[in-house]
């Protein structure tokens, strides 16, 4: 009997602790809101197998190429209204997309106006640092890793 009561109490304690984390903590959706500057792009090369290059078939190449969008030193401005403004001061590029976060906050989905979809796995997110991996939705091991730094309102004003 004692064991059962202890288990019930432990479960309630865990539920209360995790509940308070949920109430006080910030989800990745809330953390994303703001302006982010692309800092780096890294490509994790696929393994070589028995000295031979790993080859992708035509269908895989097509799927990757269809989904892959190259972002070049852009500012990613996530608005709370789920609109994402991508812009680059130097090239004059500007685009507005829809964004949302899914799963347990680990999938970032971007929807272009022409209904193209981009999927990223949120690898790390904090107040001022964001690392996302391009999600191919294929069993290919090569990934693109994008790293961002948050731009505070003041820094951003100075920059422009």
Q: Which residues bind another protein (CB under 8 A)?
A: 11, 14-15, 18-19, 21-22, 25-29, 82, 100-107, 109
Are the C-beta atoms of residues 98 and 82 closer than 8 Å to each other? yes
Min dist CB 2 to another protein, Å, is: 20
**Rounded-to-integer distance, Cα 19 and Cα 89, Å:** 43
Min dist CB 120 to another protein, Å, is: 11
**Rounded-to-integer distance, Cα 14 and Cα 25, Å:** 16
Min dist CB 155 to another protein, Å, is: 26
Structure-token pair, residue 157? 């004003």
Taking CA atoms, 159 is separated from 37, 58, 91, 156, in Å, by 11, 44, 15, 5
- Pick 19 or 116: Cβ nearer another protein: 19
Phi, psi dihedral angles at 155 (to 5 degrees)? -60, -45
Min dist CB 89 to another protein, Å, is: 30
CA atoms within 13 A on the CB side of 48: 4
- Pick 21 or 59: Cβ nearer another protein: 21
Min dist CB 99 to another protein, Å, is: 9
Helix and strand numbers (H, E) in the chain are 4, 8
- Pick 15 or 39: Cβ nearer another protein: 15
- Pick 66 or 155: Cβ nearer another protein: 66
- Pick 33 or 46: Cβ nearer another protein: 33
């Amino acid at each position: 009997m004692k064991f059962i009561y202890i288990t019930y109490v432990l479960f309630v304690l865990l539920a209360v602790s995790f509940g308070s984390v949920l109430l006080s903590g910030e989800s990745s959706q809330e953390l994303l809101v703001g302006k982010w500057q692309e800092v780096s792009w890294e490509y994790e090369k696929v393994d070589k197998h028995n000295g031979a290059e790993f080859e992708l078939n035509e269908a895989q190449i097509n799927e990757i190429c269809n989904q892959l969008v190259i972002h070049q030193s852009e500012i990613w401005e996530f608005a709370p209204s789920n609109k994402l403004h991508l812009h680059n001061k130097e090239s004059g590029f500007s685009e507005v997309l829809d964004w949302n976060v899914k799963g347990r906050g680990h999938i970032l989905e971007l929807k272009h106006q022409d209904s193209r979809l981009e999927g990223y796995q949120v690898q790390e997110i904090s107040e001022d640092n964001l690392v996302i991996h391009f999600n191919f939705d294929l069993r290919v091991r090569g990934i693109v890793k994008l790293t961002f730094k948050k731009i505070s309102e003041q820094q951003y004003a100075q920059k422009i």
